[in-house]
Copies of this chain bind each other. A is one copy, B any other.
Amino acid sequence: MDITSDIHSQHISRQFNHELEELKTHLMAMGGLVEKQVQDAVSALLEGDSSLAERVVDNDRAVNDMQIKIDDECTRVLARRQPAASDLRLVLAVIRAASDLERIGDEASKIARNAIELIDNNVGGRGFVEVRIISEHVRRMMRDALTSFARFDTELALQVVQEDEQVDNEYQTAMRSLMTFMMEDARSISPVLGIMWILRALERVGDHANNLAEYVVYLVKGLDIRHTDPDDLDQELGES
């Protein structure tokens, strides 16, 4: 390879790496927005702030737009760069992760809509403690999942996967105690159901954070393949 084409290919490769970094940066920005949406939706409920809840519902459009933008970028990178091996896995993982973040955004929006109804009906604080505890838990999971994605940190990712089980347990316990409330006081049925939908939405946020963490493991498994025998690598990627 002559020097000119070597410099040229280094340039291409630097540009490509830059594009991949950009994908990750945009995914992290989307993650930040979505995390704020979950936080605002829960704060709106706990503080009885309807207008905050309405802003969350409105902002869902911005979340959706970010997913479309990231999807377009990924499609462009696939078409233009035709990445292989771990780069391909990264792009596919970003597409999947953006889809989970978009769904977390939907859950935030559902929480906000339920919050608006509960606030309108001037509902007391039954179940609020559970909502706060579980929301803090799943938001931490989201943050850790995104951090593990940014750093390709499988250890942190596996921790998120383990935490998802704890959240499921907390959720089940909260649901049982809320059902008991309902049985004791028929007037509480409607508001307590509203809280149940919110808890269920939070539990799903945990599921999506769990998915994000699983993509990191998938990604890093791909990276590990780089260190294996090239023959096995071909077989693994089916590039025979």
Q: Footprint of B on A, CB under 8 Å? A: 72, 75-76, 78-80, 82, 84-85, 88-89, 92, 95-96, 99, 179, 182-183, 186, 189-190, 193, 200, 237-239
Contact = CB atoms under 8 A, between A and B. Distances in A.
Contacts of A200: 200
A27 to B, nearest CB: 16
The secondary-structure label for the interface of chain A is helix
Number of copies of this protein chain within its complex: 2
9 contacts: A75-B89, A75-B237, A78-B88, A79-B237, A179-B193, A182-B186, A182-B189, A183-B186, A183-B190
Contacts of A75: 88-89, 92, 237
Contacts of A92: 75, 78, 95
Given A96-B99, A179-B189, A183-B186, A237 B76 contact: yes
A140 to B, nearest CB: 24
A72 B99 CA distance: 18
A183 B190 CA distance: 9
Contacts of A88: 75, 78-79
